[in-house]
Chains A and B, each alone.
Chain A
Amino acid sequence: MVKRSPLYELQKKLGARFIEFAGFEMPIQYSSIKDEHLTVRKSVGLFDVSHMSNVWITGEEAEELISLTTVEDAFGVDDKKSQYTAILRKDGTVIDDTIFMHLGDKYMMIPNAGMDEIVTDWLNKKAEEHKVCAKAENVSKDYVILAVQGPKSRETLQKLTDVDLKNVGFFGCQYINLGDVDCIISHTGYTGELGFELQIAPSKKAEDVFNKILEAGNELGIKPIGLGARDTLRLEKCFILAGNEFEGGRTPLEATMSWTINWDHDFVGKEALLKQKEKGDYERLTCLECTSKGIPRHGCEIQKNGKKIGVVTSGTLSPCLNTGIAMGYCHPDYREKDSILEIIIRGKPVEAKVVKPPFVPKDWAQQN
């Protein structure tokens, strides 16, 4: 049975077209992906991302459980701070990438869409195995998650709350009353722009908040945004999409997430990562910008002089650059900056250049 967000009917009225993604029927676009994309880069957009999961982690040793099951040492994450991290299997491959928020004596974790039960069960199993006094509780059904993203996002949300949002710093999180609803706000997002995410429960209050945000942002040009633009926005910033970039089992070293790994603590998968790091010759996620016409897509082969050296995990036309962009895994010998590789699109090679992330710089909107 496909799940729907509690905002489905409202979104339908707003002209959304829907797709099924990870078991959820969610808006893919309202007006057009390009238009929605540029709206977020230049002003502000409102996303419903309720397909993402919500898991409470509670108990005396909640920090211990998070530290054991992620590459982050949770003891180092202050109250009212959130952290991007990854949950690994023993062999070092990623089960899911996630954010957890430190909210007083408990933590809320936001696993990806469809990962709620897998992550909850994994955490509880590890708590039992390692005798850690903490538990994970899947509360995904209770929450609507909204993302307000873009340079005008703070200005939009500030109209709906007495809390000075300038005090909610990057990756900050806290309880807040916004639009007369108590919820959790975090200065996080998946677009590379200034942005905030709201966890709202009970979910029936979300429709009211959704409408209030649209009203508050009206004069700033706010638009509702679908998952289509969410994907192009994240890809221009080289952010990972779990279903694509971890497909088939990838470690955080391969996914170029080594910056998230806190090596000074023990965690499930650490030994395997240390071995891989020492060996060194593993494939790494690589960003490619097409230098000729063509749009790379998931599954396209990457070649060098006719020899297969990797595969595209995500590809699209970049609405900001108007060129094809892709991420894929390549052997380290071929991924030096400015190297020219070929992406095979419908049997034909299209030249692409290795670039350092992100494809679209932070100040793109000011310059364009």
Chain B
Amino acid sequence: MSNEVRNDLKYTESHEWLKLKGDLAQIGITDHAQSELTDIVFVELPSVGKEVKKGEELCVVESVKSVSEIFSPISGKVSKVNDKLEDTPETVNESPYNEGWLVELEVQDKSEIDSLLDADSYKKTIG
């Protein structure tokens, strides 16, 4: 079981991570989440330009047996998606914090980011 938690990221209790890059936020799922899902075989990404609210479905990640909704940690507009995952969804397993990122959002309200979990708090939720 792998459970790496990175100090420079923000987290949700539903196992998404967020990395702020200026006005953009990169979003993915945590190492814990990919390890629980195992064998990610399909990623359905949103279209660029789509607006999502905090807590809404952002994309769908499927393992052989399960379908998991990924929820947006914040509100924003999709500025970029990691379309390489359409051919190599296993990248999410192999590199959840780097090459396996899912979506980039234009941040609407930075205060939403402050309310996310920091690395220590997230670590506690996954025990």
Are A and B a genuine interacting pair, yes or no? yes
Q: Which chain A residues border B62 with CB–CB below 8 Å? A: 295, 317
Whether a CB of chain A sits under 8 angstroms from the CB of B65 is: yes
Contact A33 B42 (CB under 8 A): no
Contact B39 A231 (CB under 8 A): no
Contact B60 A346 (CB under 8 A): yes
Given A228-B64, A228-B65, A317-B64: A33 and B38 interface contact (C-beta under 8 Å): yes
Shortest beta-carbon distance, A179 to chain B, in Å?
A: 31
Q: Which chain A residues border B44 with CB–CB below 8 Å? A: 346
Within 8 A of B (CB), among A317-346: 317, 319, 346
Q: How far is the CA of A32 from the CA of B67 in the complex (A)?
A: 16
Whether a CB of chain A sits under 8 angstroms from the CB of B79 is: no
Q: How far is the CA of A34 from the CA of B89 in the complex (A)?
A: 14
Query: Which residue of chain A is the closest to B44 with respect to CB atoms?
Result: A346
Shortest beta-carbon distance, B48 to chain A, in Å?
A: 17
Contact A293 B42 (CB under 8 A): yes
Q: Which chain B residues border A297 with CB–CB below 8 Å? A: 67
Given A293-B86, A295-B62: A33 and B67 interface contact (C-beta under 8 Å): no
Whether a CB of chain B sits under 8 angstroms from the CB of A29 is: yes
Shortest beta-carbon distance, A325 to chain B, in Å?
A: 11
The count of chain B contact residues (Cβ–Cβ below 8 Å) is: 12
Cβ-neighbour of B38 out of A32, A37, A231, A317 (below 8 A): A32
Within 8 A of A (CB), among B24-53: 38-39, 41-42, 44
Whether a CB of chain A sits under 8 angstroms from the CB of B63 is: yes
Query: Which residue of chain A is the closest to B37 with respect to CB atoms?
Result: A32
Cβ-neighbour of A231 out of B42, B63, B65 (below 8 A): B65
Could you give, for residues 32-52 of chain A, a 1 whenever the CB lies within 8 Å of some chain B CB and a 0 otherwise?
111101000000000000000
Within 8 A of A (CB), among B55-72: 60, 62-65, 67
Q: Which chain B residues border A294 with CB–CB below 8 Å? A: 42
Please classify the interface of chain B as helix (H, G, I), strand (E, B), loop, or mixed, using the class held by over half of its residues. strand
Shortest beta-carbon distance, B59 to chain A, in Å?
A: 11
Q: Which chain A residues border B67 with CB–CB below 8 Å? A: 295, 297
Whether a CB of chain B sits under 8 angstroms from the CB of A11 is: no
Shortest beta-carbon distance, B42 to chain A, in Å?
A: 5
Q: Which chain A residues border B42 with CB–CB below 8 Å? A: 293-295, 317
Q: Which chain B residues border A232 with CB–CB below 8 Å? A: 64-65
Whether a CB of chain B sits under 8 angstroms from the CB of A286 is: no
Whether a CB of chain B sits under 8 angstroms from the CB of A85 is: no
Contact A33 B65 (CB under 8 A): yes
Query: Which residue of chain B is the closest to A297 with respect to CB atoms?
Result: B67
Which of A28, A295, A297 is most buried by chain B, counting CB atoms within 10 A of its CB? A295
Given A295-B62, A316-B65: A29 and B86 interface contact (C-beta under 8 Å): no
Shortest beta-carbon distance, A139 to chain B, in Å?
A: 31
Which of B42, B44, B60, B64 is most buried by chain A, counting CB atoms within 10 A of its CB? B64
Contact B86 A33 (CB under 8 A): no
Q: How far is the CA of A293 from the CA of B60 in the complex (A)?
A: 14
User: Which positions in A face B, CB cutoff 8 Å?
Assistant: 28-29, 32-35, 37, 228, 231-232, 293-295, 297, 316-317, 319, 346
- Besides the known contacts A35-B39, A317-B62, 4 further A-B residue pairs in the complex with CB atoms under 8 A apart: A33-B39, A34-B39, A231-B65, A232-B64
7 A–B pairs (Cβ distance < 8 Å), ordered by A: A32-B39, A33-B38, A33-B64, A37-B64, A232-B65, A295-B62, A319-B64
